[in-house]
Structure 1
């Protein structure tokens, strides 16, 4: 453990020590020593669960030979959580196969993102990388056709604010409205890097990699571009909500697995192009200090100017309390969507649709029983818009 980790209590140190997939003999011994120091196993389990690492924690306590130091009832809770993760991942890949089959009939190629790639490629495809949804990338021209195909095959979707927004969907957010089937959410992405999206996403679309051992074949982004997207994804959650240690663990695992192939001059160039130089530096710095993985040049130079006290203090606070990060206000998101629509007519459609939402949307948004009653909730919608515009939230 380094000096930064020593600022944490044993429960927090243990969770951090388990947030990886490769262990030296010394690391295993350290885990056993930490397990013996734990006085509040309920706190440890709560942290592991909130950070999306409870399945990995169960596996790694066993790997380190420390599971016998865990109280029996706690060990049972950890094992139960692992089995739930394994079952969930099995369901997710089953649904993925269905989506790929539907898409392939119309010659639409889908590229997996985030957990669906990582579970297969670095976590061993054994339920260790907890997942709750499916993230897919497709060409912008394929997004709406794929969405409609899925809707015709039993998927459900959140309603659009207005029918006027349908053709604008690829511009409004990084992904289309969430779709659901069999209790699993699916997000169709067309943008990954904000205004820097086009060139980098085209590179991913044109040069995907086959995920090893998948039938039917599944595709992932090239390693460095996927890594940068994970940096972007983590940074967005750090500024909005739902940040988990799981996301840092993904970065640490990839660096440990592919250090030289990943952290090189080309990655630095791509990060600059994507507007991610600062987030990349901060996240790699934290991985260096808290995970003790090998950080090669030029990444060492990249992180040399980091404000250590500020970054580490914020990270340890988040580790103890995952909900401690502030949420970005809705007004920022509203105006960003308007900014991202490329033509004036599109901006007009967006604003018109926002001010004249469909009755179906209002019924869903305010959870009223019928469209007749939904009419009376339009003033509440306009009040919400006013609060968003003035930066006062929902």
Structure 2
């Protein structure tokens, strides 16, 4: 039996529903019809833009204006601001794509397998290469045994570890507490920065784990980087190595888990609709390849609970059936779905739906201490 079309409810307002409609992909069919109906009914432009900015979806919202019927329903002043945001995103993304290509070439010549992830991988593929997937830095995946050679190559290329001081347009030394954090959590190298000619900064982030350093669930990076898929960006100007579909999807889901399960990340507002949009668009684009390769990986590395947490919440929010199709729906309980982790490692719980949590502007007070009996085993 065919699944009924998914429609977002309007209990959180038409502005929020518009953003939810954009997450699965370009507007079409029943989603487009509802999008137009909501616009005709009237929306608050300021509210819509604020929510889109908070969830890094402003360029995606602007991209919807390619539909002339949508564009005609948007006030000219708002339409102008959205187009400006999209143009800025295109320029920034092009710069970062070229940086990603340059860094990947340098590492490849040194015999270091590397893959682009997040925006650099998704923008030219599941987002259509139109600049609508906002990028703030270049995210790359390497094997932990290559950390030293990567550090040397990046240093020789003029990058430094530090923090960007936008007021002075300079890179300040990395504070000692942040240096200590990277030493204690070696799943990432410190960001490599260089001042950009256009008045900004270029940041390159190297991850060497699909999860995080303290997690009991580690995926063999030889497996992850064993097969890379080349992707053309900027109309073929740049070739970028990406992860195979099963690992691209898995990394995207596990990154969403990390940003949405840890209290510190949630309080910083890192659990955004954009991350769900990434997952939904990957599923839509690579459904067959993900289904073919991912279930065995999930079993091999015991990732059912982590992946199930993400996919069940996504399914309930967007009417998909990813958890069931990948065989992880039974790996989660309601207690596990309502769990989180405090800064000091204590268990937390939260109530309500994921969409209600994402909609909330106040990130404080979302969680409460878990009861004395553990909600579930920690990952």
Q: What's the TM-score, normalizing by structure 2?
A: 0.75
Q: Could you tell me whether the CA contact under 8 Å between 1:211 and 1:217 is conserved in 2?
A: yes
User: Where does residue 275 of structure 2 map in the other structure?
Assistant: 247
Q: Could you tell me whether the CA contact under 8 Å between 1:2 and 1:290 is conserved in 2?
A: no
Larger mean CA deviation between 204-213 and 250-259 belongs to: 204-213
User: Where does residue 187 of structure 2 map in the other structure?
Assistant: 174
User: Where does residue 45 of structure 1 map in the other structure?
Assistant: 49
1:201 aligns with 2:226: no
Q: What's the TM-score, normalizing by structure 1?
A: 0.72
Aligned partners of 1:6, 1:76: CA distance in 2, in Å?
27
* Aligned-residue RMSD, C-alpha: 3.2
Instruction: Please give the per-residue CA displacement for 1:221-246, whole angstroms capped at 9, x wherever unaligned.
Output: 11111211111111111122322110
Aligned partners of 1:217, 1:89: CA distance in 2, in Å?
14
1:82 aligns with 2:86: yes
Instruction: Please give the per-residue CA displacement for 1:288-342, whole angstroms capped at 9, x wherever unaligned.
Output: 34334464853477169764996993422333235527799xxxxxxxxxxxxxx
Q: Could you tell me whether the CA contact under 8 Å between 2:97 and 2:238 is conserved in 1?
A: no
Residues 15 and 325 of structure 1: CA distance in aligned 2, closer, same or farther (over 3 Å): farther
| Alpha-carbon shift at residue 216 of structure 1 (Å) | 5.4
Q: Select which of 93, 100, 105 maps to 2:97.
A: 93
Instruction: Please give the per-residue CA displacement for 1:54-106, whole angstroms capped at 9, x wherever unaligned.
Output: 11111124337212111111111111111111111011012112212332342
Instruction: Please give the per-residue CA displacement for 1:359-381, whole angstroms capped at 9, x wherever unaligned.
Output: xxxxxxxxxxxxxxxxxxxxxxx
Q: Select which of 125, 140, 152 maps to 2:129.
A: 125
Q: Select which of 290, 296, 309 maps to 2:317.
A: 290
Higher strand share: 2
Higher helix share: 1
User: Where does residue 316 of structure 1 map in the other structure?
Assistant: 355
| Alpha-carbon shift at residue 169 of structure 1 (Å) | 6.1
Q: Select which of 286, 289, 292 maps to 1:261.
A: 289
| Alpha-carbon shift at residue 123 of structure 1 (Å) | 1.0
Instruction: Please give the per-residue CA displacement for 1:30-50, whole angstroms capped at 9, x wherever unaligned.
Output: 111111233421010000111
Aligned partners of 2:327, 2:219: CA distance in 1, in Å?
27
Paired residue total:
324
Residues 306 and 36 of structure 1: CA distance in aligned 2, closer, same or farther (over 3 Å): farther
Q: Could you tell me whether the CA contact under 8 Å between 1:208 and 1:220 is conserved in 2?
A: yes
Residues 267 and 106 of structure 1: CA distance in aligned 2, closer, same or farther (over 3 Å): closer
Q: Could you tell me whether the CA contact under 8 Å between 1:11 and 1:38 is conserved in 2?
A: no
**1:313 match: secondary structure:** coil
Q: Could you tell me whether the CA contact under 8 Å between 1:31 and 1:64 is conserved in 2?
A: no
**1:206 match: secondary structure:** coil
Report the structure number with the largest CA radius of gyration. Answer: 1
